[in-house]
């Protein structure tokens, strides 16, 4: 790092803590990687928390003349958040929002995820209208600053059209709130040159009718190529122009710290139809006619898209998926009739039929949403999946669509597919691209240059419709817009950023070859993750994202470690990254699998983590031998653990909660597992007192619940005894598997990187359960959701049930529920979510209490087996949003279905958590 960057780090250390300034190889690479196929590694990464920090950061960067790039979720596809200089992250710390009284407007910080905004607005019948495909992961900052759009918002309800005002931090650190009269006046007094410069540009444009006509024509369709020129013909007020110039500026003009936007109307009725055409041109001609009908969106899917999605009806065809919406059924029916009138002019492969059944039309939209991940998943390992988005004026669509398909085939991309928002003339084409050889790079370069000729020279369309200019199209901005408009853009840039320190190389890049430089390498690293596109969609469900590394960042850094090992390029860097990865990548990975639920490829980064741990546990190492000994003498280990719990409980009784907390943290600082007041007593089983009944159930108490009893301030019965007592109450005869004290699902060995021992224990358990259930005659139940999840994954002869699932499916019909008004909290564990048991567990809780809170923003609790004891900071971070919600709701008790999770939840919430079975037992009587 050269002297200027060292000075920058030194200067900002006065107001940014060291734990939010990264200069090491591992985290700079991790945070500097986005969803694009470009790779730049920042020299400094700063995790900002508020506007004041960003202002001061920009002041320091401006003084030193150092370039700065901003990043939110990093889901951008065109390299907008790549930099080899300073990267300022504004994500998880920027999630505040405020609704107007009627929810017609919402004021938001940039770190709020787009889908979360929809969840906030839904109860009010409103919606966040910008709808990029990445809305479940992309943050508001990226959506607005890229002017990202999607299937429904078109050009009428994109960010530019619904934005009212913005708080902007200028390149020199000056803050402007364009929605506040006082701030506007202060800015005008401080920067009269800036305001006059905007007015001068406005007048210059409006005095040129040809240019005005050009701008209006270009923005009739989706267009995010270059800077946004539309504000100069839409507005006269300079502050309105400043506000909207920021939209689509990709961080090249300033930092947007807050947005106030109008919300959209959420329709209550909707219907969809899949229309199949024998010919792509005819499908396009139909879309041209549909443009003037009450169609909300129309998505084209070419034959390769339908083939990839295994749509048998559409084999060899082109389809249009259409949707129309309304506030009542009569209006919806009229909309459908108008659309059918248009469609009736065309010969379809099968008759058109609309459905308003969500289950039915959901399958259509699942096909549409699944195309990109399906195509990406079938690409050869080591190739990059690239999705480009272009737009044509609607009248050019039939010819342009055919030309696009022909161009891709002529350039050898036979595996490509074309689909997209055809009603807006906006198509995506997806290709699998290798960059391993010069020939590969040349092939891609030729395709892009041919795309420019087709889109710009032939049809005067948009090279970038919604993904942002980025580094990929920066060399072609002048080509698309012409010298005059491009010159205006350069003047805007000079006005906002005279030092050119904001995201240089993005939007403005004079290197004609820049779009094929700095290509991201994708070496093989692990079979479980090699298909990863590094899109970042996983991160919304990764509990360590924002704390150490996210699931995407673990893959990114492991790929670089693998590359360095293979090439021998930089042994010192390899050594540093490997050492840092131990904590940031391995020790703080919960391996809970929730990342797979939002991954288009369904990749579970935890599988890679387990494999990596296994490489560090060869069979001849001491750790493996200890693990093997414990597996063979599990009962003895459990009894030893009980003695330790007895000792801890006795000490707890003497020194109290405060003493345990102080002593526990002191011991943890020295490397011991964390001891907290939430740690339970040892389980001392009561004699089995069951009933003889025709209804029999095999009950396997997890080895954990055979070891741990109730907490010091918990219920009267240990969980195992409570389950037996409840089942007895309900008339079920309990059967324990033989040799139960030696049985385990094997999870602890899997998590420690000893998969063979884990499987051995699973096989032992399965055999015992099979025998106890009389070869599957009786249901089998486990009381620990993570253990049950592993059993389901690895057992083939027995299909055990989670305790809450068993109660819901087998027992609840025999019970009368007496619902209480006591507010309770319910934690849905990661394994519960992965097994799809959320609804059943929530249903039981709601039958017991009229006020059930499932805390927002709390996914996996981060206890992760024993990590809540060995690395409690992970557990604390994962549950950082829990206590405020518990206190606000006045909740005194929480419930879940995993003993270890309940320990961590109790520690970090301030209320006791226990199994939901206790509440169900309290609130039920057996029907007579």
Residues 111 and 202 in one domain: yes
Residues 544 and 525 in one domain: yes
Pairing of strands 426-433, 417-421: antiparallel
138 three-state secondary structure: coil
For residue 502, tell me if it sits in a domain.
no
The answer to whether residue 670 scores a pLDDT higher than 70 is: yes
The answer to whether residue 687 scores a pLDDT higher than 70 is: yes
134 three-state secondary structure: coil
Residues 414 and 304 in one domain: yes
pLDDT confidence tier of residue 889, bands split at 50, 70 and 90: very high
| Predicted local confidence at residue 688, as pLDDT | 64
Last residue of a domain, one of 265, 280, 308: 265
Per the prediction, the chain carries an average pLDDT of 94
| CB contact at 8 A, 472 and 515 | yes
For residue 621, tell me if it sits in a domain.
no
CATH of the domain at 873: 3.40.50
| Predicted local confidence at residue 558, as pLDDT | 98
Residues 558 and 701 in one domain: no
Could you read off the pLDDT of 478-508 as tens digits, one per residue?
Answer: 999 999 999 999 999 999 999 999 999 999 9
Please list, residue by residue across 901-925, b when 16 or more beta carbons sit within 10 angstroms of its beta carbon and e when fewer do. Answer: bbbbbbbbbebbbbbbbbbbbebbe
- DSSP of 193-243, one letter per residue? HHHHHHHHHHHHHHT-HHHHHHHHHHTTS---SSS--THHHH--SHHHHHH
| Predicted local confidence at residue 793, as pLDDT | 94
| CB contact at 8 A, 260 and 246 | no
The answer to whether residue 691 scores a pLDDT higher than 80 is: no
Residues 249 and 114 in one domain: yes
Could you read off the pLDDT of 144-176 as tens digits, one per residue?
Answer: 999 999 888 889 999 999 999 999 999 999 999
Residues 345 and 454 in one domain: yes
For residue 170, tell me if it sits in a domain.
yes
Could you read off the pLDDT of 512-548 as tens digits, one per residue?
Answer: 999 999 999 999 999 999 999 999 999 999 999 999 9
For residue 360, tell me if it sits in a domain.
yes
The answer to whether residue 714 scores a pLDDT higher than 80 is: no
The answer to whether residue 712 scores a pLDDT higher than 80 is: no
Across 108-130, average pLDDT: 97
Radius of gyration of the chain (CA): 30
| Predicted local confidence at residue 406, as pLDDT | 95
Q: Tokens in use for 653?
A: 């009784």
What is the C-alpha to C-alpha distance for residues 390 and 392, in angstroms, rounded to an integer? 7
Residues 422 and 274 in one domain: yes
For residue 34, tell me if it sits in a domain.
no
For residue 505, tell me if it sits in a domain.
no
Residues 355 and 300 in one domain: yes
Last residue of a domain, one of 265, 300, 328: 265
| CB contact at 8 A, 717 and 799 | no
pLDDT confidence tier of residue 268, bands split at 50, 70 and 90: very high
What is the C-alpha to C-alpha distance for residues 262 and 549, in angstroms, rounded to an integer? 35
Helix ranges (H only) for 745-837 are: 747-751, 755-772, 785-794, 803-806, 830-834
Residues 322 and 438 in one domain: yes
Could you read off the pLDDT of 49-104 as tens digits, one per residue?
Answer: 999 999 999 999 999 999 999 999 999 999 999 999 999 999 989 999 999 999 99
| Predicted local confidence at residue 303, as pLDDT | 92
CATH of the domain at 168: 3.30.465.10
Could you read off the pLDDT of 338-368 as tens digits, one per residue?
Answer: 999 999 999 999 999 999 999 999 989 888 8
What is the C-alpha to C-alpha distance for residues 551 and 598, in angstroms, rounded to an integer? 11
- 121 to each of 105, 106, 124, 181, how far by Cα in Å? 10, 9, 5, 27
Could you read off the pLDDT of 364-400 as tens digits, one per residue?
Answer: 988 888 888 778 878 888 888 899 999 999 999 999 9
Residues 254 and 278 in one domain: no
Last residue of a domain, one of 265, 281, 297: 265
pLDDT confidence tier of residue 673, bands split at 50, 70 and 90: confident
- Higher per-residue pLDDT: 648 or 816: 816
| Predicted local confidence at residue 690, as pLDDT | 67
Residues 227 and 363 in one domain: no
For residue 644, tell me if it sits in a domain.
yes
Share of the chain above pLDDT 70, in %: 100
Angle of helix 280-290 relative to helix 397-410, nearest 10 degrees?
A: 150
Could you read off the pLDDT of 724-767 as tens digits, one per residue?
Answer: 999 999 999 999 999 999 999 999 999 999 999 999 999 999 99
For residue 855, tell me if it sits in a domain.
yes
Across 265-287, average pLDDT: 96
Across 121-135, average pLDDT: 95
Could you read off the pLDDT of 627-639 as tens digits, one per residue?
Answer: 999 999 999 998 9
- Higher per-residue pLDDT: 199 or 675: 199
Residues 329 and 372 in one domain: yes
Kindly tell me the sign of the dihedral angle through the C-alpha atoms of 26, 29, 32, 36.
Answer: negative
Structural domain count of the chain: 5
Domain range enclosing 541: 521-616
| Predicted local confidence at residue 692, as pLDDT | 84
């Amino acid at each position: 790092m050269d002297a200027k960057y060292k000075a920058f780090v030194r200067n900002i250390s006065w107001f940014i803590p060291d734990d939010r300034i990264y200069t090491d190889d591992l985290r700079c690479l991790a945070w500097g990687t986005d969803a694009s196929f470009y790779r730049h590694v920042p020299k400094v990464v700063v995790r900002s928390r508020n506007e004041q920090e960003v202002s001061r950061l920009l002041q320091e960067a401006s003084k030193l003349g150092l370039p700065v790039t901003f990043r939110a979720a990093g889901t951008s596809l065109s390299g907008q958040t790549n930099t080899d200089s300073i990267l300022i992250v504004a994500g998880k710390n920027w999630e505040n929002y405020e609704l107007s009284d009627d929810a017609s407007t919402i004021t938001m910080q940039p770190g709020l995820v787009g889908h979360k905004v929809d969840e906030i607005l839904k109860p009010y019948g409103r919606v966040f209208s910008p709808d990029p495909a990445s809305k479940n992961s992309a943050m508001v900052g990226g959506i607005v600053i890229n002017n990202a759009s999607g299937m429904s918002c078109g050009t009428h309800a994109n960010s530019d059209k619904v934005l009212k005002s913005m708080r902007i931090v200028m390149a020199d650190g000056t803050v402007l709130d364009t929605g506040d009269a006082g701030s506007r006046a202060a800015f005008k007094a401080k920067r009269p040159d800036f305001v006059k410069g905007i007015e001068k540009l406005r007048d210059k444009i409006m005095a040129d009718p040809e240019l005005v006509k050009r701008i209006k024509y270009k923005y009739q369709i989706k267009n995010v190529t270059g800077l946004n020129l539309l504000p100069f013909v839409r507005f006269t007020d300079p502050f309105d122009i400043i506000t909207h110039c920021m939209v689509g500026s990709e961080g090249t003009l300033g930092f947007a710290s807050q947005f106030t936007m109008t919300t959209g109307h959420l329709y209550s009725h909707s219907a969809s139809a899949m229309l199949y055409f024998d010919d792509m041109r005819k499908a396009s001609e139909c879309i041209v006619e549909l443009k003037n009908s009450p169609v909300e969106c129309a998505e084209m899917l070419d034959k390769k898209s339908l083939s990839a999605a295994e749509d048998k009806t559409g084999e060899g065809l082109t389809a249009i998926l259409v949707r129309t919406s309304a506030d009542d059924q009569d209006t919806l029916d009229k909309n459908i009739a108008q659309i059918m009138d248009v469609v009736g002019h065309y010969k379809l492969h099968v008759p058109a039929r609309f459905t308003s059944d969500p289950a039915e039309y959901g399958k259509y939209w699942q096909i549409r949403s699944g195309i990109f991940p399906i195509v990406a998943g079938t690409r050869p390992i080591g190739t990059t999946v690239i999705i480009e988005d272009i737009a044509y004026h609607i009248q050019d669509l039939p010819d342009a669509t055919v030309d696009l398909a022909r161009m891709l085939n002529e350039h050898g991309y036979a595996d490509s597919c074309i689909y997209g928002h055809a009603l807006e003339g906006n198509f995506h084409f997806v290709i699998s691209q290798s960059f391993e050889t010069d020939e590969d790079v040349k092939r891609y370069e030729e395709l892009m240059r041919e795309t420019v000729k087709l889109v710009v020279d032939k049809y005067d369309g948009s090279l970038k419709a919604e993904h942002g200019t980025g580094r990929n199209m920066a060399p072609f901005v002048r080509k698309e817009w012409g010298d005059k408009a491009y010159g205006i853009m350069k003047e805007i840039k000079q006005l906002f950023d005279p030092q050119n320190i904001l995201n240089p190389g993005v939007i403005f890049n004079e290197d004609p070859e820049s779009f094929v430089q700095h290509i991201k390498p994708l070496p093989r690293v692990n079979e479980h993750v090699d298909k990863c596109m590094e899109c970042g969609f996983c991160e919304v469900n990764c509990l360590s994202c924002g704390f150490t590394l996210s699931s995407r960042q673990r893959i990114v850094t492991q790929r670089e470690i693998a590359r360095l090992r293979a090439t021998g390029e930089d042994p010192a860097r390899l050594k540093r990254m490997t050492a840092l990865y131990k904590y940031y990548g391995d020790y703080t990975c919960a391996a809970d699998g929730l990342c797979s639920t939002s991954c288009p490829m369904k990749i579970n980064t935890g599988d890679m983590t387990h494999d990596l741990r296994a490489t560090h546990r060869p069979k001849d190492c001491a750790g493996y031998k200890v693990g093997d000994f414990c597996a063979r003498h599990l009962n003895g280990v459990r009894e030893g653990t009980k003695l330790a719990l007895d000792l801890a409980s006795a000490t707890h009784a003497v020194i109290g909660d405060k003493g345990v907390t102080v002593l526990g943290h002191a011991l943890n600082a020295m490397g011991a597992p964390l001891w907290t007041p939430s740690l339970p007593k040892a389980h001392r089983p009561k004699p089995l007192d069951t009933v003889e009944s025709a209804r029999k159930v095999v009950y396997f108490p997890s080895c954990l619940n055979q070891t741990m009893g109730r907490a010091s301030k918990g219920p009267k019965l240990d969980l195992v005894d409570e389950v037996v007592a409840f089942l007895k109450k309900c008339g079920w005869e309990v059967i324990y598997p033989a040799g139960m004290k030696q049985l385990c699902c094997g999870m602890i060995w899997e998590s420690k990187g000893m998969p063979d021992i884990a499987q051995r224990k699973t096989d032992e358990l399965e055999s015992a359960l099979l025998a106890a259930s009389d070869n599957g005659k009786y249901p089998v139940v486990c009381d620990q959701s993570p253990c049950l999840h592993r059993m389901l994954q690895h057992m083939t002869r027995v299909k055990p049930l989670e305790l809450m699932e068993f109660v819901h499916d087998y027992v609840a019909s025999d019970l009368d529920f007496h619902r209480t008004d006591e507010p309770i909290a319910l934690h849905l564990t990661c394994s519960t979510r992965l097994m799809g048991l959320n609804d059943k567990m929530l249903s039981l809780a709601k039958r017991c209490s009229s006020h059930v809170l499932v805390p927002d923003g709390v996914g996996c609790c981060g206890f992760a087996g024993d990590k809540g004891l060995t690395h409690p900071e992970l557990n604390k971070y994962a549950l950082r949003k829990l206590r405020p919600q518990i206190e606000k709701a006045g909740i005194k008790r929480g419930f879940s279905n995993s003993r270890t999770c309940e320990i961590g939840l109790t520690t970090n919430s301030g209320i006791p958590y226990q199994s939901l079975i206790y509440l169900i037992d309290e609130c039920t009587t057996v029907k007579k």
